[in-house]
Amino acid sequence: MNKILIVGACGQLGTELTIKLRELKGKDNVVATDLRGPVDLIADGPFEKLDILDKSQFHDLLKKYQIKEVYHLAAVLSAKGEQDPQFAWRLNMESLMTVLEAGKDIVEKIYWPSSIAVFGPGTPKQNTPQDTIMDPNTVYGISKLAGERWCEYYHDKYGVDIRSLRYPGLIGYKTLPGGGTTDYAVDIFHKAIAGNSFECFLNENTVLPMMYMDDAVKATIDLMEAPIGKVRVRSSYNVAAMSFSPSQITSEIQKHYPDFVTRYVPDFRQQIAEGWPSTIDDSVARADWGWKNAFDLPELVETMLAHLKKEIVF
Ligand code: NAD
Ligand code: AKB
């Protein structure tokens, strides 16, 4: 069994991926690392504090645990990135280069997520193809696009087995999001469950691609387990599940909570969202390694509300 190390394991995605990978591979084979933590949900297995900007600390851990696979998730996301673009660029790029370099001779397989943020205002908004115009206008999107180019470069020049997905906004009940433009689609559930109204930072008609966390975790593990010959794209794969606007998700929640109300107070994140696609064509991922989502909007809403109702203590 290959030993796995996860960088950024205490985040929204990292926590859920750590739980699932430990379930599948055995908890001692999955080393969770983060700048902070461990958070309770992943405190049951090996954990190390790691600042991924510290290369020697990273290499010490690769050696200590004989790591063969790295899932590198640490990043500054879109909204937070605009508050300190220089730091977002540094963290997102330097950390990726450290991990890719390790892929040349120490690590056998790497996962690194990209995002729909690689697209920009010039990209076709509907059914955005795998290969198309990419003109991101956030530091986050620029760093993800540059990252994709580096991933393909390291694969082509050095044979690094790097795999990547362009996630849409991820929505789960176990964890909270960490500073993105799609975060509203998680927060809205917490407000609905608490019986509060919701103030949305996007306007009511802004349609963005989204995905339930279980689908995102499944896509990630399916891609990592796919036979090498099936992974033809070494920049990053489009993956999709559903698309909706704040008013559409509000209506779906109102089927369960008829008194629930959303008010729209767009801020700087509106402009970020306007540069992103509304719907994504993920036919290449479906054809290459069999990607298929399980959750659509009604199932997402039902599942989120059911779990949060059980877990939140007032
Ligand atoms: P998050 O902000 O919730 O988690 C990131 C984690 O990285 C945090 O726990 C943080 O403490 C850790 N971290 C930050 N700096 C670090 C450092 N120097 N060293 C080690 N750890 C550090 O982010 P997330 O939502 O879980 O996203 C994970 C990855 O998936 C990111 O690369 C992100 O760009 C990508 N992604 C996420 C989404 C989404 O909707 N969540 C969508 C598209 C892509
Ligand atoms: C963000 O909003 O920044 C992330 C993403 C889509 O990459 N959720």
71 is catalytic: no
Q: Are residues 119 and 192 in the same domain?
A: no
**Tell me: the pLDDT tens digits for 112-143?**
999 999 999 999 999 999 999 999 999 999 99
Mean pLDDT of the chain: 97
User: 246-254 and 184-194 are packed helices; what angle lies between their axes, rounded to 10 degrees?
Assistant: 30
Residue 302, domain CATH: 3.90.25
Q: What's the average model confidence in pLDDT over 25-53?
A: 97
Segment 16-37 mean pLDDT: 98
Q: What is the pLDDT of residue 65?
A: 98
Q: What percent of the chain has pLDDT over 70?
A: 99
Residue 313's pLDDT is 53
User: How far is ligand 1, taken at its centre, from the CA of residue 92, in Å?
Assistant: 10
The verdict on residue 191 lying in a domain is yes
Q: Report pLDDT for 312.
A: 65
242, burial (CB in 10 Å: exposed 0-12, middle 13-18, buried 19+) = buried
The finding on whether 246 has its CB within 6 A of some atom of ligand 1 is no
User: How many angstroms separate the CA atoms of 303 and 314, rounded?
Assistant: 19
> Is 11's C-beta closer than 6 angstroms to any atom of ligand 1?
yes
pLDDT at residue 118, as a whole number: 98
39 plus 95 within the same structural domain: yes
Mutation to probe ligand 1, out of 15, 35, 41, 213 (largest number of atoms < 8 A from CB): 35
First and final C-alpha spacing in the chain: 43
State whether 233 and 191 are in the same domain.
no
Using the mean position of ligand 2's atoms as its centre, give its distance from the Cα of residue 60 in Å: 31
Tell me if 236 sits within 8 A of 285, measured CB to CB.
no
Same domain, 176 and 147: no
Q: Which domain holds residue 301?
A: 170-210+241-280+290-311
Q: Which atom of ligand 2 is nearest to the CA of 208?
A: 6
Catalytic residue among 71, 140, 154, 237, which? 140
Q: Quick one: tokens of 236?
A: 């990053």
Residue 275 lies in a domain: yes
Same domain, 100 and 12: yes
Whether residue 21 lies inside any domain: the answer is yes
Instruction: Please provide residue 128's backbone torsions phi and psi, each rounded to the nearest 5 degrees.
Output: -50, 120
Q: What is the pLDDT of residues 39-49, one digit of tens each?
A: 999 999 999 99
Please work out whether the CB of residue 145 comes within 6 Å of at least one atom of ligand 1: no
267 shares a domain with 194: yes
Task: Find the 113 Cα to ligand 1 centroid distance in Å.
Answer: 9
Q: How far is the CA of 258 from the centre of ligand 1 (A)?
A: 34
CA nearest neighbour of 92 among 59, 46, 138, 127 = 138
Does residue 254 share a domain with residue 221? no
Q: How confident is the model at residue 292 (pLDDT cuts 50, 70, 90)?
A: very high
Whether 47 and 122 map to the same domain: the answer is yes
Separation of CA 75 and ligand 1 centre (Å): 5
**7 CB less than 6 Å from ligand 1?**
yes
Question: Which residue is listed with tokens 């958070």?
Answer: 39
Q: Quick check: CB of 106 below 6 Å from ligand 1? A: no
When pLDDT is averaged across residues 73-101 and rounded to a whole number, the result is: 98
**Cα gap 279→115, rounded to integer Å:** 13
pLDDT of amino acid 105? 95
How many angstroms is it from 167 CA to the middle of ligand 2?
8
Choice from 12, 76, 77 to test ligand 2 binding pocket (greatest atom count within 8 A of CB): 77
Please tell me the total count of domains within the chain: 2
Mean pLDDT calculated for residue range 230-246: 98
Residues with CB under 6 A from ligand 2: 77-78, 115-117, 140, 168-169, 180-182
- For residue 295, name the pLDDT band (cuts at 50, 70, 90): very high
pLDDT at 237 over 60: yes
Give a yes or no: residue 285 inside a domain: no
Residue 204, domain member (yes or no): yes
Same domain, 158 and 32: yes
**Closest Cα to atom 6, ligand 2: which residue?**
169
What is the atom index within ligand 1 of the atom nearest the CA of 80?
2
Asked if residue 131 belongs to a domain, the reply is yes
Is pLDDT of 314 > 80? no
Same domain, 40 and 148: yes
Cis peptide before 38 (omega within 30 of 0): yes
Q: Which residues contact 143 (CB under 8 A, 6 or more apart)?
A: 75, 81, 88, 89, 92, 93
> Is 63 among the domain residues?
yes
- Has residue 251 got a pLDDT over 90? yes
Instruction: Answer yes or no: do 144 and 263 share one domain.
Output: no
Residue 250 lies in a domain: yes
State the virtual CA torsion across 200, 204, 209, 210 in degrees, nearest 10.
40
Give the CATH number, domain containing residue 109. 3.40.50.720
Q: What is the pLDDT of residues 152-163, one digit of tens each?
A: 999 999 999 999
> Which stretch of DSSP H or E encloses residue 218?
helix 213-225
Instruction: Decide the pairing of beta strands 208-212 and 242-244.
Output: antiparallel
For ligand 1, say whether the CB of 13 is within 6 Å of any of its atoms.
yes
Looking at the structure, tell me whether residues 203 and 298 fall in a common domain: yes
Q: What's the pLDDT at 311?
A: 78
pLDDT given at position 1: 86
